[in-house]
Structure 1
Amino acid sequence: MATPYSPSIRRRRLSSELKRLRAQAGLTIVEAAKKAGLGKSSLGAIEQAESKAVPAGTLNKLLDLYEVTPEQRATLHELAKLAGKKGWWSQYKDLIPQMLADFEAEASTFRTYESQVIPGLLQTPQYADAIFRANLVRDDDEIDRRVEARVKRQGVLNRVDPPTFMALIDEAALRRMVGTSDVMQEQLRHLTQMASRHNINIYVLPFSAGAHPSTEGSYVIMDFTDLRDASIAYLETPATSMYLEEEHQVRLFNDMFGSTQSCAMAPVQSLAFINRLLQELEE
């Protein structure tokens, strides 16, 4: 099975390249739009990766203006083509936060802090089911689809060349009884199994750490292999989701994660701690 690609990543890369080519040509966005016969707002949307698709004719006008080589032209047309396609997650667009699975598909590194629940990519189906049922207003069909979507998202950790996954999990998330005791036992066992993988590191943030740099809430930082693809900090609320990619914004979250990690147990200690909690539940 081919590794899925992210249309959003392709769109961001295309916009970055077109912006670079315009600057290389010594043109302002107003000048480039006028010479290419486009509206300034239209070109602005393309350069900000806000356009879902860039028609071949529009792209050709820009590439003619920027005098790109045939090789560059072919590459950029392929990016535009891939950016316009949909991933498997489009069938769950009413359930998965906008573009989340899209970015996850190509992330090379995940760094996440979770204060209330186990990180979604590490949840068992039964644990996820209990989390979704806590909403109290969802019917069984919606819950089943949400669990199905979450399990599919977890496929990114099973790739032949899997991403690095670093999870800072607050002790509260490990002790909170979600579902039944059996559900929690299965979930904790699953964490120990996932922690044994070479690409997954789990850090438990104990209550004894007290106040720490990430007390304001959970977040995920995603990095990408291609240097042209800026890292993203992702935050989720009941009403919306946010994707922050400005350098100073991502730096803030990088610093928060690093400082919080220094307050947490090392992976070996964390695994021992999870096993102790598991033994307590089994007694």
Structure 2
Amino acid sequence: MASHVNPTVRRRRLGQELRRLREAKGLTAEWVAERLLVSQSKISRLENGRRSINQRDVRDLCEVYGVEDERVVESLMQMAKESRQQGWWNAFGDIPYSVYIGLETAAASVRNYESLLVPGLLQTQEYAEAVVEGMEPEASTEDKARRVGVRIKRQDRINDLASPLRFWAVVDESALRRVVGDRRVMREQLEQLIEVSRRPHVTVQVLPFTAGAHPGMVGTFSLLEFANEGDSSVVYLEGVTSDLYLEKHHEVQRYSMMYEHLRALADPPEQSRRLMMNLAKDYAR
């Protein structure tokens, strides 16, 4: 998987380089937008990697920024070409959180806090189906199946033992006690959580009710980190109508500290497994 071009990462790296070139010239995004007769929001979306960029855009921006080295221009245009390739997730159609999937696919590690659900990367097929059915009751059967299919396909990163994703999950106890589907579905989900949590690249901690108030009460979030030093860490916040990606150093640091507090408050992995075993037995009765 790592050997394939990831269009999301290419867009992100290209955007970072274009921002660097603009700032090196002391130009504002507003000035560049006026010069090219485009909106300022377009320049911002190109620089943050949230919008597809074509080779003509790159050429025009390089002219504005006075880039004379043809090798640099060609390199950036090649990145633009690669950024327009299709990721595996495109085979599933229009997925609202496709940017996140692209980042997750390229990430070396993900730290996830979940307050209401079992993390998507650790869900069973039936649990995922019950989640999608409950959260998207008005969606078509085809759309629900597509969403579940993407969620299960994402788990290739967890199951790829040759080059696995380092995954650390802190899960609120309420997520394990909320009956999604039915008691059998919950028992099988907990049994899978227990099994996966024993893998060396996966850590699952349960945040018990007895922890009281905690930093995670602001909501679910994920921290993504990458092997390439040039790819900065990202905080992902999922929304109902839109998602938020935080990349500024102080924002990432704040959420990293929040996550460390959550890890400290949560039960250790072995104790968390015992709790999950007890809950699985309860669901089996």
State the TM-score, normalizing by the size of structure 2: 0.85
Question: Match of 1:156?
Answer: 157
Q: Which moved more, 1:122-131 or 1:264-273?
A: 264-273
Matched residues, number:
279
- In the TM superposition, residue 93 of structure 1 has moved relative to its aligned partner by 4.8
Q: Deviations over 1:227-257 (max 9, x none)?
A: 2222111112333222222222222211111
Question: Match of 2:12?
Answer: 12
Question: Match of 2:198?
Answer: 196
The separation in 2 between residues aligned to 1:172 and 1:61, in whole angstroms, is 50
The separation in 2 between residues aligned to 1:13 and 1:228, in whole angstroms, is 8
AA aligned opposite 2:240: P
- In the TM superposition, residue 161 of structure 1 has moved relative to its aligned partner by 1.4
Q: Deviations over 1:25-73 (max 9, x none)?
A: x45358x959xx8457589344443541231584387279334473x45
Question: Match of 2:85?
Answer: 85
Kept in 2, the 8 Å contact 1:110–1:165? The answer is yes
Kept in 2, the 8 Å contact 1:123–1:187? The answer is yes
Q: Deviations over 1:120-166 (max 9, x none)?
A: 11100100111112243234333222211111122222333122101
- In the TM superposition, residue 267 of structure 1 has moved relative to its aligned partner by 1.2
Question: Match of 1:134?
Answer: 134
In structure 2, the residue corresponding to 1:225 is in which secondary structure?
coil
Question: Match of 2:223?
Answer: 221
Kept in 2, the 8 Å contact 1:5–1:105? The answer is no
Q: Which moved more, 1:176-185 or 1:89-98?
A: 89-98
5 Å matches for 1:66-77?
66-68=67-69, 70=71, 72-77=72-77
Q: 1:272 to 1:29 in 2, by over 3 A?
A: same
5 Å matches for 1:29-108?
29=28, 38-39=36-37, 44-45=43-44, 46-49=46-49, 51-55=51-55, 58-59=58-59, 62=62, 65-68=66-69, 70=71, 72-108=72-108
Q: What are structure 2's unaligned runs of at least 5 residues? A: none
**Structure 2 residue corresponding to 1:186, chosen from 185, 188, 192:** 188
The separation in 2 between residues aligned to 1:97 and 1:28, in whole angstroms, is 32
Q: CA RMSD in A?
A: 2.8
- In the TM superposition, residue 119 of structure 1 has moved relative to its aligned partner by 0.6
Q: 1:41 to 1:101 in 2, by over 3 A?
A: same
Question: Match of 2:275?
Answer: 273
In structure 2, the residue corresponding to 1:214 is in which secondary structure?
helix
Q: Deviations over 1:84-128 (max 9, x none)?
A: 112121244534424121111111111111111101111001001
The separation in 1 between residues aligned to 2:153 and 2:212, in whole angstroms, is 35
- In the TM superposition, residue 13 of structure 1 has moved relative to its aligned partner by 0.8
AA aligned opposite 2:79: L
The separation in 2 between residues aligned to 1:33 and 1:169, in whole angstroms, is 45
The separation in 2 between residues aligned to 1:183 and 1:257, in whole angstroms, is 29
Kept in 2, the 8 Å contact 1:29–1:44? The answer is no
Kept in 2, the 8 Å contact 1:117–1:173? The answer is yes
Identity among equivalent positions (%) equals 33
